[in-house]
Structure formats: C-alpha cells, structure tokens
C-alpha cells in the first residue's frame, strides 16, 4: 500500500486503525491455524509412513504368493481363477474436515478381504496356494485404498499449510507494516494540520490585536 494514496483524514485514520486491529487478529488466528495444520501433518506423516511401509510389504508378500501359486498350480490355473473376479472393488468417497481442509474418507462398499467361500471360485477345484495368493492381493487392494486416502489428505494439508504460510507472511511483513505506516503518516499529517491551524489562529489573533491597537 502506498502511503501517498491515503487520504489524511480522521475518518481514514479510524478506518485504518480498525483494519490493523482486524489484520492482527487475523494474523494470530492464521498463525494458530498454520501451527495446528503442521501438528496435524506431522501426526499424519507418521501414520502415512506406517501405512505406505505396510503397503510395500503387502505388495512384496502378494507377489511372492502369486509367484508360488503360478509355480505350483501353473499359469493356466492362475489365469482361470483370475477370470473369476467379475467386478472391481467398489468404494464411496466421503468428506472430512480438518481445520477447514476438506479431505477424502474412502469407505468400502463391500468387504475387500473376503472369506474363501465368498469368493467367485470353487473350493474343490483349487488349492490353498490360490487362496493365499488371492488373500494377499485382497489385503494389498485394501492397503492401496488406505494409502490413497492418507496420501490425498497429506497433499491437501501441505497445500493448505503453504497457503496459510503465505497469508501469515503477507500479513506480518507487508499488509500490517504498510497499514501501520499509513496510519503513522495520517497521524503525522493530522498533527501537522492541527499545528498549522493553531499557528494560523495565533497569527489571526495577533493581526486582530494589532488592528485594535
């Protein structure tokens, strides 16, 4: 804000003082929000590390189980069983609010990890190795959904932290100082005008006194 453009009036001074007060309150609130978001982010980061690590482990395990099933039962059997899965896992996205940040919550419409008898292939024509591989992949899909949820939350939090930081910094280093400067300028100008008026009055008074004498 440039000082020159400000009208040095009492009204403007009152307005500016109000705005400074509000900006300072906003600044402290934003600072608190930023700190809160950072704390939330740190907590989530720990959780995310665990969940992503778990997913990587589950992926390793699933691939091992698949390799074993392919090895012992053959690619033909695994291919045939893979065809049994007729639809993709269904889930719905809900919303959650973390300090004003809307983050997704993934709710499974149906259980992803299922019991052997709930799966689309029979028990009599398959082996336990197939069950183990299928179970490992079901757990992997479940973990992927969990990671997707936490990763999106973290990404949104980072964006919000950045945005809040920028606002805090703008208020702290630009908006509030320039308003305070403008305020000082108006106050100085008003004082100056007051002084001018007093001098003018004094001069008029002395002139009048001279005329009367």
Partner 1 sequence: MLLKSKRSSWAYIVARVKVMKRRLIPSEEYRKLLNMDFNEIVRYLEETDYKREIDELAYKYSGPRLLDYALTLNLGRTYRKIMDVSFGIAKDIITTYLKRWDIWNIVTIIRGKMAGVSEEEIEEALVPVGEYTLDFYKSLIPKEIDEIVKTFEGTPYYSVLSKVGSEPLSIIEDELYKIYYHQILKERPSEFALKLFVDFIKMEIDIKNIKTILRLKREDVSAEEIMRRIIPGGFEITEEEASKLIAMSWDELVKALEGYWFSKGLEGITDKSISRIEIKFDKAWMEVVARRASNYPLSILPVLQYMVLKKIEVDNLRTLGWGKWQGIPNEEIEEQLVIL
Query: Minimum distance from CB of 113 to partner 1 (Å)?
Result: 11
CB nearer to partner 1: give 2 or 86.
86
Choice from 10, 42, 49, 79 touching partner 1 (CB under 8 A): 79
Choice from 22, 32, 75, 193 touching partner 1 (CB under 8 A): 75
Question: Which residue in the block uniquely carries the two structure tokens 């300090």?
Answer: 99
**DSSP H/E element including 60:** helix 10-82
Query: Minimum distance from CB of 123 to partner 1 (Å)?
Result: 5
Q: How many other CB atoms are found less than 10 A from the CB of residue 148?
A: 15
User: CA angle at residue 106 from 103 to 107, to 5 degrees?
Assistant: 140
User: CA angle at residue 72 from 123 to 113, to 5 degrees?
Assistant: 45
Query: Minimum distance from CB of 72 to partner 1 (Å)?
Result: 5
Residue 125 class from Cβ within 10 Å (0-12 exposed, 13-18 middle, 19+ buried)?
Answer: exposed
Q: How many other CB atoms are found less than 10 A from the CB of residue 198?
A: 10
Q: Where are the beta strands (DSSP E) in 47-187?
A: 91-98, 101-108
Query: Minimum distance from CB of 66 to partner 1 (Å)?
Result: 9
* Positions in 26-65 near partner 1 (CB under 8 A): 64
CB nearer to partner 1: give 4 or 117.
117
Question: Which residue in the block uniquely carries the two structure tokens 């973990």?
Answer: 143
Q: What are residue 96's DSSP bridge partners?
A: 103
* Positions in 100-159 near partner 1 (CB under 8 A): 115-117, 119-125, 127-129, 131-132
Among the listed ranges 6-14, 24-32, 68-76, 97-105, the one in contact with partner 1 (CB under 8 A) is 68-76
Among the listed ranges 8-16, 66-74, 164-172, 173-181, the one in contact with partner 1 (CB under 8 A) is 66-74
CB nearer to partner 1: give 89 or 104.
89
94 alpha-carbon distance from chain centroid: 17
Query: Which residues of this chain interact with partner 1, rule CB under 8 A?
Result: 64, 67-68, 70-76, 79-80, 83-86, 115-117, 119-125, 127-129, 131-132
């Amino acid at each position: 804000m440039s000082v020159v453009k400000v009208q040095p009036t009492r009204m403007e001074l009152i307005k500016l003082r109000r705005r400074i007060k509000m900006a300072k309150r906003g600044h402290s609130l934003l600072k608190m929000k930023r700190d809160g978001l950072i704390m939330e982010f740190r907590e989530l980061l720990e959780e995310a590390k665990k969940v992503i690590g778990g997913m990587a482990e589950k992926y390793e395990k699933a691939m091992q189980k698949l390799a074993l099933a392919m090895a012992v039962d053959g690619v033909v059997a695994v291919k045939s069983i893979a065809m049994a899965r007729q639809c993709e896992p269904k889930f719905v996205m809900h919303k959650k609010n973390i300090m004003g940040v809307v983050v997704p919550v993934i709710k499974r419409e149906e259980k992803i990890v299922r019991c052997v008898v709930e799966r689309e292939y029979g028990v009599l024509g398959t082996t336990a190795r197939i069950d183990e591989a299928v179970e490992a992949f079901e757990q992997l899909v479940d973990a992927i959904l969990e990671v997707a949820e936490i990763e999106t939350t973290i990404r949104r939090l980072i964006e919000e932290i950045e945005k809040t930081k920028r606002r805090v910094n703008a208020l702290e280093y630009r908006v509030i100082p320039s308003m305070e400067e403008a305020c000082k300028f108006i106050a100085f100008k008003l004082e100056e005008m007051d002084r001018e008026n007093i001098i003018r009055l004094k001069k008029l008074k002395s002139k009048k006194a001279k005329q009367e004498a």
